[in-house]
Chain A
Amino acid sequence: MKVSLLYINEKLPLNADDLIIDLGLNQVIETMAGNDKFIFDTCTKVLLTGVNDETEIAYRHDVLVDAINNPSIVEQMYQILNDASTKARNRLYFITKPHPIYLLYESISVLEIFIEVLGKIKTVVGDNSVYFKSEGFRSFFKIIFDEFNLQYITMVMNHINNLRFNNGITFRCEIGSGNKLVNYILLKPDSKKRLAFLRKREEYSYNLPAMDEGGAQILDDMRNAAVADTAEIIKMAADNALGFINDTKAQIAFYVGCINLHKKMKDLGEPTAIPRISKSSVKFKGLYDISLSLAIKGGTVKNSLEIEKPLVIVTGPNSGGKSTLLRSLGQAQLMLRAGMFVPAEYYEGPLLKTINTHFRRGESAKMEAGNFENELVHIKAAIENTAVHGLVLLNEPFSSTNAIEATELSRQIIDSLIEGGVHVVVVTHFYELAWEYIKDPNAVFLKAERKEDGTRTFRIVPGEPSFTSYGEEIFLKVFGDLKVHKAAD
């Protein structure tokens, strides 16, 4: 009984925190989760880990489409599983010392919860199962309706009744070392009728005196020993049943998250698209920063580009939309790997194996020896985590040191990455660095768009880096009222 709506990798990548911060994922995941902590955690895992298998992604897309088309049923199933999971957790494993009989009873009560869940889901899904086309949901319903059919459940319930031992516990026994009683083997509890028949065998009895508390404890130990193995077996069954509940809940949680995010983007009037996987080139229309969109409630600037080279160098003035593009590229790749829709009207791109970011952040941007060292350590870690056919997003690398060092270091790193088959997008204000690649067949140049009158559109368009300092301009704009010399002089 294994549900496979999606595979959840419990192990977050080492750079999970970087990804969340650099790509602004918190806002995205919060929207997916609503106020459900569990959905939040699950979506975090799924979004950050992703898969490297095109077939698996297509499989998820099918499930995703089913979920978006049948939101109410999916949400109800999640609710049923969520309730059951909480209920089972409250029943289970509150004993500190091993006590097989309690363990047995607890396990039985978990099995009962499981059987109840099956019933409820059957009711909710009912005839609507025909609206689900994906292999994922279909195989899930097969488990619920076929594998655990009424006949099987009745049989299981009979054994559960036996295991309540209403006529006492009977076991076989031998005399072991030191004449201690050993090798308990539980026998099938007999019906009253059969018990009467068995009494014809020669038997001797002993009644525990009411005052004998120690004796009562020992009888309890013996009963426990007699059911120890059985309790372990039933616990295994309960664990698996609970595992089924929890796994299914987690898998559905992700799709509930997708439903929520999808609804939200629709409300904000933003497009979403099921991405297509290409061999290596990236082509998109209306790509936007989903995190920014959630923050400013839609109306984001959209980019449309075709990129056919592994190295993308983005230059241009500050606040020109460079970082936004970088983030949206990262988000799209992550969501593609997770089997989700992406924030664009249309998107196709390669399935890249890893995503690593090295973004300049607040404090670390200052030129200080310690920061430079930190940057080196960070970028080293980022590269160590990158695989061939991975993606590395560099946002103003080595701004903690001077231009010459930064250029030289960046160039070495980028060269080795590109040679190693990694896709690199770098945003830099070091024009020296950009010019190093001006004749490189692997590189493509983008820059922040400006209209003829000089105003910024925040759109990113193809364009080689220019040496004109926009900084000077901004400086003049801000300080122009003071008497200053042009930097060009």
Chain B
Amino acid sequence: MAFKSILWTEDGTFSNEHNFFADLNLEQVINEITKGDQELKQLFYLPLKSSTSIAYRQKIFEDLENSKTLNSIMAFYTKIEKIDKQLQYLDKLYDYQREGVFIETVISYCNALIDLAADLSNAPLKSTGLADFRDFLKTYLESHEFTVLKINAEKIRSSISSIKFIITINGGRITVKKYNGENGYNNEIVSAFSKFGVREVNGTPEVRNNFNHIEANILKLLANIYINEFYTLKEFYKQNKNFIDQIIYKFYKEVRFYLFFIDYITPLKLGGLSFCLPQIDPNCEKVFGKEMFDFVLAKKLIKENKKIVTNDFYLDERIVVITGPNSGGKTTFARAFGQMHAFGRLGLPVPGRAASLCLCDHIFTHFEIVERVENLTGKFEDDLVRIRQIIDKSTEKSVLIINEMLSSTSIYDAKVIGKQILEIIKGKGAICVYVTFIDDLAKIKGVLSMVAQVDPNDPSIRTYKIVVQEASSKAYTDVLARKYGLSKEMVLRRLKA
């Protein structure tokens, strides 16, 4: 099949709400991945509708797991990026400088393509996307257009760089003439000052400033001495202004989606974390993840050289209720769950050693807004309104992440209302991760209970492990009591003594 795009097949995308990006801290992640490039950023807001288009991208990521393949494409990208930038400012350059920069740009372009083709020729490519691109590239390099471009550019460049000449600067007067093999002065200086312990220096003879009008004037003077060389140079520029192939250019722009993402996750991988290409279940039935973690937190902890705790989940039920002590990693878990789904449906690798995810139509989040607590009744109502909107829009293929809702009411209310909301969501058939302090919510039939763990010997230490377990806040207080000598046995023993 003729190569068209490294990103897209014919299938469409979900037109999607993306309110959840902020709650999942994904805006931050996406900004970092795309280095702020708007065009690239848009791609993250266009989730794919079909398993086929997801697979098209996943296969390319699989190919890029081969470090040779990755490095050659990365190298190609870096080179073309530089070329692209250089071409954009050609108009602003001086005469003869422009032509000089241009001819090098052409040579770099030719070499970048040749290198890439050579690198890819034996690469074990399995993806349709990259294999088709390789075929395209091969045909292009064999074309007459490309061959002529390359030969001419090199010939002209070599004639210019073989020019050697002499400049004399005396006051404000600059004189140029041909060089006739005179010796440099420094050798003589070095031997004359040998008793002073001097050595040869080959330091920084380059002028530090940018190309300037003086150099432009000097080149004009030289054009009188080296007439042919400079004429050919000018002609080459005039005739080859649009030398970059359109499909190559599009590939260069689109391939950033892969390269930038890999660039972002590499430090995490080096830190011992796993990423995988998840199975994507269009029916949203099989949902699990092994050794998953929160992107943002992981990035931060890696920088601080701290240990990152990973967690597993296997959704036997559609609804997971997470309980456990404060700062025990509940929210992080919920966030990571959402992040995996958001990235999985973009065809991207997700955190974890293995995963199967729901090809969800929507991701909804409801994270408590901590500020503005003056009006509790108002807040309670707002919370309910928002949750209602979410439930209305959700289907059996939606993913809901709900965090600490209903804290603005009494515990009794929170229990009763929370139970009812969970029953409604259950009825909708959506996948839901619900974070709460209320044990009772985890005891509803058809709900999977997961609990954030603490160190059994020291309850002040959180392990950040979230495991399937019966919700019981008493388990935590028991550990606390033992540590401070307040457990039942300890107190009784003391009373008897």
**Residues of A near any B CB (own CB < 8 A):** 1, 111, 147-148, 152, 155-156, 159, 162, 167-189, 198, 201-208, 210, 214-216, 218-219, 221-223, 225-226, 228-230, 232-234, 236-238, 240-241
Does A205 contact B175, Cβ atoms closer than 8 Å? yes
What is the CA–CA distance of A463 and B201 in the complex, to the nearest angstrom?
69
Does B207 contact A225, Cβ atoms closer than 8 Å? yes
What is the CA–CA distance of A234 and B97 in the complex, to the nearest angstrom?
34
**Residues of B near any A CB (own CB < 8 A):** 96-97, 99-101, 104, 160-161, 163-180, 182-186, 188-190, 192-193, 195-209, 211-215, 217-219, 221-222, 224-225
Does A228 contact B203, Cβ atoms closer than 8 Å? yes
> Which A residues lie within 8 Å of B193 (CB)?
156, 159, 233-234, 237
What is the CA–CA distance of A155 and B195 in the complex, to the nearest angstrom?
12
Known: A222-B214, A230-B189, A232-B203. A152 touches B195 (CB 8 A): yes
Known: A215-B213, A219-B214, A222-B214. A178 touches B100 (CB 8 A): yes
What is the CA–CA distance of A172 and B177 in the complex, to the nearest angstrom?
10
- Chain B residue with the shortest CB-CB distance to A232: B201
Does A233 contact B190, Cβ atoms closer than 8 Å? yes
Please name 21 pairs of A and B residues whose Cβ atoms are closer than 8 Å in the assembled complex, sorted by A: A1-B197, A159-B189, A174-B164, A175-B163, A175-B222, A178-B101, A179-B99, A187-B182, A187-B183, A187-B185, A203-B175, A203-B176, A205-B174, A205-B221, A218-B212, A219-B172, A221-B208, A221-B209, A225-B206, A229-B203, A234-B198
Chain B contact residues: helix, strand, loop or mixed: mixed
> Which A residues lie within 8 Å of B164 (CB)?
172-174
- Chain B residue with the shortest CB-CB distance to A189: B185
> Which B residues lie within 8 Å of A208 (CB)?
172-174, 214
What is the CA–CA distance of A152 and B217 in the complex, to the nearest angstrom?
43
- Chain A residue with the shortest CB-CB distance to B196: A237
Q: A206-B174, A230-B189 are known contacts; what are 20 more A-B pairs with Cβ within 8 Å?
A: A147-B195, A159-B189, A168-B168, A170-B167, A171-B167, A172-B164, A178-B101, A179-B96, A179-B211, A184-B206, A186-B184, A188-B188, A201-B177, A204-B221, A204-B224, A219-B174, A222-B167, A229-B203, A229-B204, A240-B198
> Which B residues lie within 8 Å of A167 (CB)?
170
What is the CA–CA distance of A182 and B104 in the complex, to the nearest angstrom?
16
Does A221 contact B207, Cβ atoms closer than 8 Å? yes
> Which A residues lie within 8 Å of B199 (CB)?
233, 236
Does A178 contact B97, Cβ atoms closer than 8 Å? yes
The interface centre, meaning the residue of B172, B182, B205 with most chain A CB atoms within 10 A of its CB, is B205
- Chain A residue with the shortest CB-CB distance to B179: A172
Contact of A233 among B168, B201, B221 (CB under 8 A): B201
What is the CA–CA distance of A210 and B173 in the complex, to the nearest angstrom?
11
- Chain A residue with the shortest CB-CB distance to B99: A179
List 5 tightest A-B contacts by C-beta distance, closest first.
A179-B100, A168-B170, A237-B196, A208-B172, A203-B177
> Which B residues lie within 8 Å of A182 (CB)?
205-206
Smallest CB separation, A377 vs chain B (Å):
32
Does B183 contact A240, Cβ atoms closer than 8 Å? no
> Which B residues lie within 8 Å of A215 (CB)?
213-214
Does B196 contact A184, Cβ atoms closer than 8 Å? no
> Which B residues lie within 8 Å of A171 (CB)?
166-167
What is the CA–CA distance of A170 and B195 in the complex, to the nearest angstrom?
27
- Chain B residue with the shortest CB-CB distance to A198: B177
Smallest CB separation, A171 vs chain B (Å):
6
What is the CA–CA distance of A481 and B32 in the complex, to the nearest angstrom?
89
Does A176 contact B184, Cβ atoms closer than 8 Å? no
Does A170 contact B101, Cβ atoms closer than 8 Å? no
> Which A residues lie within 8 Å of B183 (CB)?
187-188
Smallest CB separation, B111 vs chain A (Å):
14
Smallest CB separation, B328 vs chain A (Å):
42
What is the CA–CA distance of A215 and B169 in the complex, to the nearest angstrom?
12
- Chain B residue with the shortest CB-CB distance to A162: B185
- Chain A residue with the shortest CB-CB distance to B175: A205
> Which A residues lie within 8 Å of B182 (CB)?
172, 187-188
What is the CA–CA distance of A357 and B227 in the complex, to the nearest angstrom?
83
> Which B residues lie within 8 Å of A168 (CB)?
168-171, 173
> Which A residues lie within 8 Å of B96 (CB)?
179
Does B173 contact A240, Cβ atoms closer than 8 Å? no
> Which B residues lie within 8 Å of A237 (CB)?
193, 196-198
What is the CA–CA distance of A486 and B204 in the complex, to the nearest angstrom?
87
What is the CA–CA distance of A162 and B202 in the complex, to the nearest angstrom?
20
Smallest CB separation, B195 vs chain A (Å):
6
Does A175 contact B100, Cβ atoms closer than 8 Å? yes
Smallest CB separation, B92 vs chain A (Å):
13
What is the CA–CA distance of A169 and B167 in the complex, to the nearest angstrom?
8
